């Protein structure tokens, strides 16, 4: 089993959090989320993590430590992940891009850094 930590940002609080993900048969599963500041995330190298594949959550996944959201959206501008609480229009917690949500049909590629 391969495990990594990716970064997401709460679009309500604009605070970064880490998400532990595990790879199983080419897909990734979110297992745990925890608050972390951006400097510590960079020191730990979490800002350099890249994963590719489908990204699901497990029953144990606790969601965003700030707003509780278990779902996410990937920004069409910066490519980063931000909380999503089922609204039709969303604002990226990273870059502030606002737009209508669309469904991704293919696997996603996520790369940290750039904050």
Write the CB contacts of 43 (distance below 8 Å, at least 6 apart in sequence): none
Cα–Cα distance for residue pair 52/69, rounded to 1 Å = 22
Task: Report residue 112 as tokens.
Answer: 């940290």
Kindly report, residue by residue over 48-98, the tens digit of the pLDDT. Answer: 899 998 999 999 999 999 999 999 999 989 989 999 988 889 999 999 999
Range 23-31 average pLDDT: 94
115 confidence band (pLDDT: 50, 70, 90) = very low
Average pLDDT score, the chain: 89
Whole-structure pTM value: 0.88
Does residue 6 carry a pLDDT above 70? yes
Write the CB contacts of 113 (distance below 8 Å, at least 6 apart in sequence): 47, 48
Does residue 104 carry a pLDDT above 90? no
Range 29-53 average pLDDT: 93
């Amino acid at each position: 089993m391969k495990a990594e930590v990716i970064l997401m940002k709460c679009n309500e609080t604009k605070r970064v959090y880490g998400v532990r993900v595990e790879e199983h048969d080419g897909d990734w599963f979110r297992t745990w989320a925890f608050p972390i500041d951006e400097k510590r995330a960079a020191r730990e190298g979490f800002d350099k993590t890249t994963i590719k594949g489908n990204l699901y959550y497990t029953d144990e996944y606790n969601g965003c430590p700030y707003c509780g959201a278990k779902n996410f959206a990937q920004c069409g501008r910066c490519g980063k992940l931000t909380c999503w609480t089922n609204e039709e229009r969303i604002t990226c917690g990273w870059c502030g891009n606002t737009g209508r949500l669309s469904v991704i049909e293919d696997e996603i590629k996520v790369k940290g850094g750039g904050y």
